[in-house]
Chains A and B, each alone.
Chain A
Amino acid sequence: MTVLRQIYRERWGYYFITPTYLLTVLFAVAPVVMGVYFSLYRTVRGQSRYVGFDNYLRLFREEAFQRAIENTLYFVLLIVPLALAISLFLAVLVSPLGTKAQTFFRIAFYLPVVASPVVLSLVWLWIYNPVYGLLNYLLKLVGLPPRTWLSDLGTALPGLAVIVITWSIGQPLILFLAAIGAVPRDYYEAAIIDGGNAWQRFWHITLPLIQPTTLFVLITNTIGVFQIWVVIHLMTQGGPFYATQSLVYLLYQKAFVAGRFGEASALGVLLFVIIMAIAYIQFRFFSRSVEY
């Protein structure tokens, strides 16, 4: 009874979260449940049939799926560490500069994030064009042979990764600058008096103190890169020969090109499990690391 009375007394607390909760349940929680359900069914000639785990088994046997896993891992392992290293390097270079210079570089590196991925993908499509693209022209200037970037098995995947890196730097840079700015100055002064060089100061002071930010960047970028889709959709459509097929692009093809909603749902569930595992790791680290 006391709980009921308490609920009644605090009823406005519930009223205020109701709109948010209605939307969350309808458009975020229900689709997860539906996704699991759909992944166990297959529609054949308009008839929905229970097929157990057959959708999953079909996926595992498919070459496109295996390549999608490989490529997605490749993207993650290439883009995430590179984006982290570049943005951290830039932050260290920018952080001692004056306010105006800091603002300038923050803007310069954040602008590609502001332009939408759709826009940048189209511009890069032009830059990579083997006949009239800027890249081959620049290579010719330094005496290198032209390449057919996006239709070449060897360069298509790294070619897309480069583009994604250009818009994965801006946000971490801003976060790192804020984190480095929060490190007390006297730590560095003490280290200088003790004879610590620039590298030692970075390794023993900056890096440990900005660790929560590093972790945040690492994990949000990982989850972001797992969902790579726009560049593939607009530039290579997963080709040549599955060379740029990714998990999310495969999901898109299954659902909206081939109309196989069961298999697409199974892929969605797998993606959910993978990403929740990453989120779980994120959680454990966050509860352990220092408040900031």
Chain B
Amino acid sequence: MARIALDRSVASPGGILRRLTWSRALLAVRYLLLLALALGFLIPLYWMFTGAFKTQGSSFAVPPEWFPKRPTLANFELLFTRHPTVRWFANSMVVAAGTVFLTLLFSSLAGYSFAKKRFPGQQALFWILLATMMMPRQVTLVPLFILMRQLELFNTYLALILPLVSWPFGVFLLRQFIQSLPTELFDAARIDGAGEVGLWWHIVMPLSRPALGSLAIFTFVASWNDFFWQVVVTRTDTMRTLPVGLTRVAEQEFGVNLGIVMAGAVLTSLPLFAMFFAFQNYFIKGITMGAVKG
């Protein structure tokens, strides 16, 4: 049946033409549908960006201004002068940088050990890590909070950093990646007299750069957005991170000056957007790598 249909369309040029215009129309519909949906998804972000440049009056305007009529930078100025925003931003950066550094260090060591070494109990130890990775952090929230108070780490950078570093996702990502490195490479280096730490530093680290890149980006984003834990474990303005600070701004300004809140929102999401656009491929790779065999 299909063969006949195929032959007929080949036989008459009119059929091909009709088919072509039909498939072109379908393609146009496809694009229109996708663009409309993408627009719907992006409107909140557009609203945030334009809102940050709206004057106090125009942020409450009805009907709303699709484009700020008198764009202003006053919101950013107020954000920085009325609130300790610089400190919050620096806190978020310090916490994210510390988390990334420790995660890369510990994950590359453990990932290398699980990928290329064979030792008694390895399997069992690996399964325990797997089990902890699946555990949602909210479950351990209360005991972790009490633990941090007992260790006298409450309201410190370490309290913000360490729980995230203990999440073993990076170990899996790197184990997966390092397994694909040729074992002969390690044997050759060993014959050349490289020590255990030397193997890790001179072979594992440089060769796993793509995986380390993905992990660094993911860890940065995870730390930047670790809002729940940051709310729970910080108490003073000097320790608050930017997202937590932003909610403080929102509490005080939301009904008064939406522009300041949106300026804070832009500032909070800007490092994430910058990172996404600079390292898009790492993002995509990281997502697919993380999903493959969990």
Residues of chain A having any CB pair with chain B under 8 Å: 3, 6-7, 10, 12-17, 19-21, 23-24, 26-32, 34-35, 38, 90, 93-94, 97, 101, 103, 105-112, 114-120, 122-127, 131-132, 134, 137, 166, 169, 171, 174-175, 178, 192-195, 213, 216, 223, 226-227, 229-230, 233-234, 248, 251-252, 255-256, 261, 264-265, 268-269, 271-272, 275-276, 279, 282, 286, 291-292
Contacts of B284 in A (CB 8 A): 106, 174
Q: 7 tightest A-B contacts by CB?
A: A195-B2, A31-B140, A23-B166, A10-B119, A16-B113, A34-B143, A13-B117
The reply to whether the CB of B258 lies closer than 8 angstroms to some CB of chain A is yes
Residues of chain A within 8 A of B110, CB atoms compared: 16-17, 19-21
Given known A-B contacts A16-B200, A107-B280, A10 and B118 have beta carbons under 8 A apart: yes
B-side contacts of A122, CB under 8 Å = 246-247, 250, 254, 261-262, 265
**Could you tell me if B166 and A114 are in contact, using CB atoms closer than 8 angstroms?**
no
Q: Given A114-B269, A166-B44: A194 and B2 within 8 A (CB)?
A: yes
Taking a contact as CB atoms under 8 Å apart, the answer to whether B44 and A112 are in contact is yes
Interface centre among A106, A119, A124 (most CB of B within 10 A): A119
* Stretch in B31-39, B72-80, B82-90, B180-188 with 4+ CB within 8 Å of A: B31-39
Task: With A27-B166, A110-B276, A252-B232 given, name 14 new contacts (CB 8 A).
Answer: A7-B119, A24-B168, A29-B128, A29-B132, A105-B34, A111-B276, A117-B225, A122-B254, A123-B51, A127-B47, A169-B41, A195-B1, A230-B228, A269-B139
> Interface size (B, Cβ < 8 Å)?
94
Min CB distance, A125 to chain B, in Å? 7
Whether B262 lies near A10 (C-beta < 8 A) is no
What number of A-B contacts does a CB cutoff of 8 Å give? 265
Q: Is B283 an interface residue (CB 8 A)?
A: yes
* Max count, chain B CB within 10 A of own CB: residue among A28, A34, A233, A256: A28
- Cβ of B139 and Cβ of A275 under 8 Å apart? yes
| Given contact pairs A134-B47, A230-B227, A275-B135, A171 touches B287 in the complex (Cβ within 8 A) | yes
Known contacts A13-B119, A20-B109, A31-B147: A119-B269 contact under CB 8 Å: yes
Query: B283 to chain A: which residues have CB within 8 Å?
Result: 110
* B203 contacts chain A at the CB level, 8 A cutoff: no
A115 touches B63 (CB 8 A): no
Point out the residues of chain A lying under 8 angstroms from B30, CB to CB.
93, 97
